[in-house]
């Protein structure tokens, strides 16, 4: 992890491995201090707090969760008494998609040789993902702490005269997607609306909505965007990711029309220049999302997580690349 100054008052803590769960956090060191997203486990959250304390010595009074995924909310409990702000959908969604007990069970299962072997026979991808997570994370002790201040479309903060705009843009990657714009400093904290130099993973929402949101990022004309995952970038980061999503959707359509399954399509579609990004086999999720749209499935159709990790595993094996999430 490292901290980088983004503008006069904005900072980011970036997880450099850039694999699944390696989410970024932000800090605006004005008006009591605002932290944006709280990391995936308590050790990472403590390290983030320690890094931010170099530029904001007291505990920040506010937290913003950009959406409901575990890797953005599991450090919330360390901000005791803070106001936690998020889109209205986030508390309910967190209970479903960020249940710490499920992850704890998986990690303990994978850490144990006999349960791992049994699980591996059925879900090799789930085991591979669990083993990767074990290298960096420990989900023990995590308790869900839900947002306390909820908003619908837009929420504004005035921090010592600096305006901060929370703009609801979901569902494009997840139901609660919110971006945080600091116009005076030309900074946007994009949450997982933007993945940089790693393959985006989208759960709930549509390509169209995601494109609209990326267009909005560009229109806001920021000098720096803090992605949910990956290094800092400018608007080129947004346009590159849009091009990737367009490419995947177009290629998926050809495979869909040829009646391939989404898994076979993901095995067949070339990574192209995006093979350089982290975890390119996560392509499967974007193909599957495209297929859901072609079939007119509801945008919130649930994911079978073990099957999804297994499919990514199979794509990596078929393409003879490292299995990475
Ligand atoms: Zn994330």
How many angstroms separate the alpha carbon of residue 192 from the centre of ligand 1? 5
Euclidean distance between CA atoms 203 and 303, whole angstroms: 8
Could you count the other beta carbons within 10 Å of the beta carbon of residue 215?
13
Non-local (6+) Cβ contacts of 97 within 8 A are 68, 69, 70, 174, 203
Average pLDDT (226-239) is: 98
How many angstroms separate the alpha carbon of residue 8 from the centre of ligand 1? 25
pLDDT at residue 206 in the model? 93
Average pLDDT (186-206) is: 97
Mean per-residue pLDDT over the chain, rounded: 97
pLDDT at residue 299 in the model? 78
Average pLDDT (19-31) is: 97
In the numeric block, the tokens 């290094």 are attached to 231
**Contact at 8 Å (CB) between 65 and 86?**
yes
pLDDT tens track for 269-325: 999 999 999 999 999 999 999 999 999 998 788 999 999 999 999 999 999 999 999
Token pair in block for residue 133: 């997570």
How many angstroms separate the alpha carbon of residue 280 from the centre of ligand 1? 16
């Amino acid at each position: 992890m490292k901290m980088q100054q983004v503008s006069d008052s904005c900072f980011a803590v970036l997880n450099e491995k850039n694999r699944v769960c390696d989410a970024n956090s932000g800090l605006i060191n004005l008006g009591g201090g605002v932290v944006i997203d709280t990391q995936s486990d308590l050790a990472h959250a403590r390290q983030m707090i320690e890094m931010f304390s170099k530029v904001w010595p007291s505990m920040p009074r506010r937290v913003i969760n950009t959406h409901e995924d575990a890797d953005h909310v599991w450090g919330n409990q360390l901000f005791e008494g803070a106001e936690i702000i998020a889109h209205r959908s986030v508390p309910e969604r967190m209970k479903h998609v960020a249940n710490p007990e499920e992850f704890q069970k998986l990690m303990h299962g994978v850490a144990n040789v006999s349960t791992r072997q049994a699980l591996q026979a059925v879900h090799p991808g789930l085991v591979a993902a669990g083993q990767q997570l074990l290298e960096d994370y420990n989900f023990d002790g995590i308790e869900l702490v839900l947002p306390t201040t909820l908003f619908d479309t837009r929420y504004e903060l005035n921090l010592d005269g600096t305006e901060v705009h929370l703009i609801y843009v979901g569902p494009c990657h997840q139901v609660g997607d919110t971006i945080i714009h600091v116009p005076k400093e030309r900074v946007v904290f994009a949450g997982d609306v933007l993945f940089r130099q790693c393959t985006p993973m989208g759960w709930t929402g549509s390509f169209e909505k995601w494109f609209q949101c990326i267009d909005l990022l560009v229109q806001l004309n920021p000098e720096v965007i803090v992605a949910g995952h990956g290094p800092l970038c400018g608007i080129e980061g947004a346009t590159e990711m849009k091009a990737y999503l367009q490419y995947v959707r177009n290629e998926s359509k050809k495979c869909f029309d040829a009646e391939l399954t989404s898994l076979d399509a993901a095995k067949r579609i070339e990574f192209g220049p995006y093979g350089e990004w982290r975890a390119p086999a996560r392509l499967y999720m974007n193909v599957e999302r495209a297929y859901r749209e072609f079939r007119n499935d509801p945008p919130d159709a649930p994911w079978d997580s073990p099957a999804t990790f297994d499919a990514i595993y199979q794509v990596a094996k078929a393409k003879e690349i490292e299995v990475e999430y």
